[in-house]
Amino acid sequence: MLDSLFNPKSVAVVGASEIPFKWGTYISSNILDGKFKGRYYPVNPNIKEVFGYNTYPSLLDLPEAVDVVFVTTPAKTVMQILQDCITKGIKNIVMITSGFSETGAEGIQMEKEIITIAKNHGLNIVGPNTMGIVNTHCSLYATGAITRPKPGGISIIAQSGNLGYQIMEWAESEDIGIAKFVGSGNEAVLKIEDYLKYFNGDSQTKVILMYVEGVDDGRVFIEVAKETSLHKPIIALKAGRTEVGSKAAASHTGAMAGSFSIFKGVMQQTGIVFAESPRELLTLSAAFDSFPLPKGNKVGIITLGGGWGVVTADECAERGLSIPQLPHSIKYELDKRLPPFWSRENPVDLVGQPDFQLFKDAVEMMVAHQDFDAVIVLGIVGSKVFAHRAAEAVYNLGKMQKSVFDDFKKLLYIHQKEFLDRLIELMNQYKKPILPVSLSKMPGDETVHSDGGNYKVVIYDSPEEAVLCLSKMYQYHNYVEKRSRVYA
């Protein structure tokens, strides 16, 4: 039902402009500069053209009934625009305009009228008071704040435009792919559960990321969330964890924030994975979008150094993951490759040997073994930074030729790439997640490694991040597994 809204072939912007820092300009320039793959029509009776496109005085003058209209003009103009949409046969409206239920009695009344019109004429209205929408897969970047994450599998529903914007900025700078975005605004007509339902059926959406302040109809929300999370993971941050936060939420969009402990229960009951912060929202979503789910909680750890392994094992234990004994067969194999003083237990400490082949083989031994559901690899990724800087110091002191140093850098890059490619191969083969934690990163180093296939590798900065993601993926797997057993 919302497909023509999120996958439009043609769009119009009412109030289109080219004067910097106006909403009609933000939306138009973002659509055009973002290389939207469909047709664009500016509507504005006061100017002739917008960024080289001839304007139309009103929606009624357009050569076609566009799939989506973006409305950026003041609240008092909105009723006429809706009438024009009805006359023209336009069904989807993204109402950027603010000044409705978030502002007081008069605004509430106007919003009620919008709801009535939408209901009577079957209009899909996003907002009002929305940041806009994005569909990376048809290059539709139609938000007020300009951010252009690359296409991917995460779709975002944000009850706050700013928060959604920030998450997309992070995604863009960290190379995390986004499928769609909607700032749900005041949710006068389309509500969070409508978007959930749509993303559940959307083939480009693998993971749903949600920022929630409140829901209007709790019962409907629960039904939709339950149904959705059996098919796709929903990662949510709920605002208003404390009383101060709750008050801020209530005054923010007019949505009433329910008490947090009850919402937490709702999330447990519906299988929603909950995040504690905006940062965590994106981190968790990227993990769910990239790795196969672990089928159990048994983790194998491989580390370049002892202390790191212990810290990671502690994190695992605290988050409900287990660290089983190292199987004899693996001990036997590694005995042949490692000095006699090696740990001979899980975490496997490869005693500071930055040997890519050894790491590849050790990872495969662990991931192939039935005693492990997931593997965390600490430190071989990013060891190139260590080697790079060691070589650079010698080069700077004039004891290494530039060509040798350059070749060495290239080689380091290739080794790391091959290692990450191997992790993807192993994940495809064994359907178990393998999470690398980087020893160190340099500017320009990738955070997500992909070969374009189904699975990707997220490179973590810290063991606690990797363990958090793994534990949440395990909990989600468990939720779905238990329910499918009950309802099978």
Report CA Rg, the chain.
Answer: 26
Q: Which is nearer to other proteins, 104 or 265 (CB)?
A: 265
Indicate the burial class of 252 (C-beta count within 10 angstroms; 0-12, 13-18, 19 or more): middle
Shortest reach from residue 104's CB to other proteins, in Å: 22
* Smallest distance from other proteins to CB 187, Å: 13
CB closer to other proteins out of 247 and 482 = 482
Taking the complex as a whole, how short is the minimal distance between the CB of residue 217 and other proteins, in angstroms? 8
Shortest distance, CB of residue 265 to other proteins, whole angstroms? 3
Which residue, 109 or 268, has its beta carbon nearer to other proteins? 268
Structure tokens at 35: 């290389």
DSSP 366-409: HHHSTT-SEEEEESSTTHHHHHHHHHHHHHHTT-S-HHHHHHHH
Q: Which is nearer to other proteins, 205 or 228 (CB)?
A: 228
Residue 48 token pair: 């002739």
**Nearest distance from C-beta of residue 332 to other proteins, angstroms:** 37
Sequence-distant contacts of 460-463: CB under 8 A, at least 24 apart? 460/435, 460/436, 461/437, 462/437, 463/308, 463/311, 463/312, 463/315, 463/376, 463/378, 463/437
User: How far apart, in Å, are the Cα atoms of 431 and each of 79, 427, 451?
Assistant: 53, 5, 16
Place of tokens 């988050």: 319
Shortest Å, Cβ 182 to other proteins: 21
Q: What are phi and psi of 376, to 5 degrees?
A: -110, 130
Q: What phi, psi does 436 have (nearest 5°)?
A: -90, 140
- Give the shortest CB-222-to-other proteins separation in angstroms: 6
The smaller minimum CB distance to other proteins, of residues 381 and 473, is found at 473
Mark 129-151 as b/e (b = at least 16 C-beta within 10 Å): bbbbbbbbbbebbbbbbebbbee
Closest CA to 164 of 152, 155, 153: 155
Residue 205: which residues within 8 A CB-CB, separation 6 or more? Answer: 153, 154, 155, 179, 180, 199, 232
Provide, rounded to whole angstroms, the least separation between the CB of residue 261 and other proteins: 5
- Which of 116, 268 has the CB closer to other proteins? 268
At closest approach, how far in Å is the CB of 258 from other proteins?
Answer: 4
Measured from the CB atom, the residue of 219 and 399 that comes closer to other proteins is 219
| Shortest spacing between CB 468 and other proteins, in angstroms | 18
Nearer to other proteins, 64 or 217 (CB): 217
Own/partner long-range contacts of 365-369 (Cβ < 8 Å, ≥24 apart): 365/329, 365/330, 365/333, 365/334, 366/300, 366/302, 366/330, 367/300, 367/426, 367/427, 367/430, 367/432, 367/434, 368/430, 369/300, 369/327, 369/329, 369/330
Of 332 and 487, CB closest to other proteins: 487
Measured from the CB atom, is 214 or 379 closer to other proteins? 214
128 cis-preceded (ω within 30 degrees of 0) = yes
User: Measured from the CB of residue 479, what is the shortest distance to other proteins in angstroms?
Assistant: 9
Name, in order, each residue with C-beta under 8 angstroms of 346's C-beta and a sequence gap of 6 or more.
300, 301, 323, 324, 325, 326
In angstroms, what is the minimal distance from the CB of 246 to other proteins?
Answer: 12
- What are the structure tokens assigned to 461, written together? 């900065």
Largest CA distance in the chain: 82
Closer to other proteins by CB, 144 or 240: give it: 240
Backbone angles phi, psi at 179, to 5 degrees: -90, -65
What's the token pair of residue 408? 């060495």
Which CB sits closer to other proteins, 271 or 379?
A: 271
Binding site for other proteins (CB under 8 A): 214-219, 222, 256, 258-259, 261-262, 264-266, 268-269, 482-483, 486
Q: What is the DSSP letter of 251?
A: H
Instruction: Let me know: does 350 contact 344? Beta carbons within 8 Å.
Output: no
